[in-house]
Structure 1
Amino acid sequence: MNSLAFLLEYINKPRSTGALLPSSQKLAERMTEAIDFQTADFIIEYGPGTGVFTEKLIKKRRVGTRILLIEQNEVFSRLLKDKYGHVKDLVIVNGSAETTSYYMKKYGFKRADYILSGLPFASIPSGAADFILSETASILGSEGKFITFQYTLLKKGLFERYFSVLHISREYMNLPPAYVLACTNGERNESFGSKRISG
């Protein structure tokens, strides 16, 4: 069902969906390995799609950690609500990452420790991408981490405009293979689980 939903949405909205298939479990592990689940109080996920990363977040988080899912696609948003609408301390909104600050205030999120992103920045208009990343950096401050994946490193320079440290790893067990970028404005820390590669 997840794969079919992704394929249909890719056919209908290729620029916003960004992929033919949902992310793999291996990529989900890679995306969440940089998170300290013992200390994380608030986690946001941009563009969760069918919930591959969401599932990992729910399973790994400690009791009391709140998660905010922001999904712009109506089909995926309904699917997420069907799957996770009953889950405690999990908020699902059908909206844009550009309005994250609004949703944080609405649902009582004072800050975010981590923001995971499945957004296809390569196909997002530059103005919107800049706004999202500017808001993301502001929400996270100097200690929070932004974790995203991209199929190429064409937008590496874009992320470097808003974050001082990028740790980049490659996950080959995904179709197509993906780069995972873990970004922070804090001090350089090699605890992201993977070696840093050049772009």
Structure 2
Amino acid sequence: MWQFLREYISAPNTIGAIAPSSRHLAAAMTASIDFGKARCIVEYGAGTGVFTREVAARKRRDTTYIVIEQNDCFYEMLRKQFQGMPGVVLIHGDAGNVCSFLREQGFKHADYIISGLPFTSLPRQVSHRILSQTQEAVGAKGVFTTFQYTLLRKAFLEKYFHIQGIVRVWQNLPPAYVLHMKRKCCPEKQISADSMV
């Protein structure tokens, strides 16, 4: 908890929360995942590993689980917890490079992508790059799930995805919205930075 708060104070725009996510939020974030069929699952911004522990415990042994974390401190915490776990691939890097990371593991698309990134506070150009890559990464059939503390960026997310459902999780600090989404039919290259309003 204190480590998380320290990282939030040092980089509030990229951490986006003052406390780790609750188990209730982890359950909502993974509710759409068919663990029996998923071949590839990706996580952005794993932080202290709350969602990571949930997915790692429930996935099949042969499912590839790509966990991307850019923060140095959080990546080290994840490495200590999950390095060597079957099927778990830890990447110290940028979610905006997700398609490259998928190719490195032999995949064109992910079945599911879950994200803890704070799109409300991230610069729009950064969000645009990540969401454009995510469109490509989930393909026509994959599901993208993110949580946000407000719905201020709902219209922005809808430029890239069709929102299939929104769940309010009250048992979290602070309460959060979980959005389950699928890619729009139009290719991501049609969405230009100039269209981000």
Same fold (TM over 0.5): yes
Shift of 1:175: 0.4
Is the Cα contact below 8 Å between 1:160 and 1:166 reproduced in 2? no
Aligned counterparts of 1:159 and 1:37: Cα–Cα separation in 2: 25
Corresponding pairs, count: 185
Which residue is equivalent to 1:73?
71
Aligned counterparts of 1:41 and 1:8: Cα–Cα separation in 2: 35
Question: If the length of structure 1 is used for normalisation, what is the TM-score?
Answer: 0.89
Runs of 4+ in 1 over 6 A off after TM superposition: none
Aligned counterparts of 1:135 and 1:79: Cα–Cα separation in 2: 26
Q: List alignment gaps of at least 5 residues for structure 1.
A: 188-199
- Among 17, 24, 27, which residue is 1:26 paired with? 24
Q: Calculate the aligned-residue CA RMSD, in Å.
A: 1.4
Is the Cα contact below 8 Å between 2:160 and 2:184 reproduced in 1? no
Write the mapping of 1:1-199 to structure 2, written as runs, cut at 5 A.
Answer: 3-185=1-183
Is the Cα contact below 8 Å between 2:109 and 2:136 reproduced in 1? no
Shift of 1:82: 0.6
Question: If the length of structure 2 is used for normalisation, what is the TM-score?
Answer: 0.90
Is the Cα contact below 8 Å between 1:169 and 1:179 reproduced in 2? yes
Aligned counterparts of 2:183 and 2:14: Cα–Cα separation in 1: 28
Shift of 1:101: 1.5
Q: List alignment gaps of at least 5 residues for structure 2.
A: 186-197
Shift of 1:84: 0.3
Q: Deviations over 1:34-82 (max 9, x none)?
A: 1111110000000000100000101111221110011010000011001
Q: Deviations over 1:58-112 (max 9, x none)?
A: 1111221110011010000011001100201111111111111222222323320
Q: 1:77 aligns to what SS in structure 2?
A: helix
Aligned counterparts of 1:30 and 1:102: Cα–Cα separation in 2: 28
Aligned identity (percent) is 44
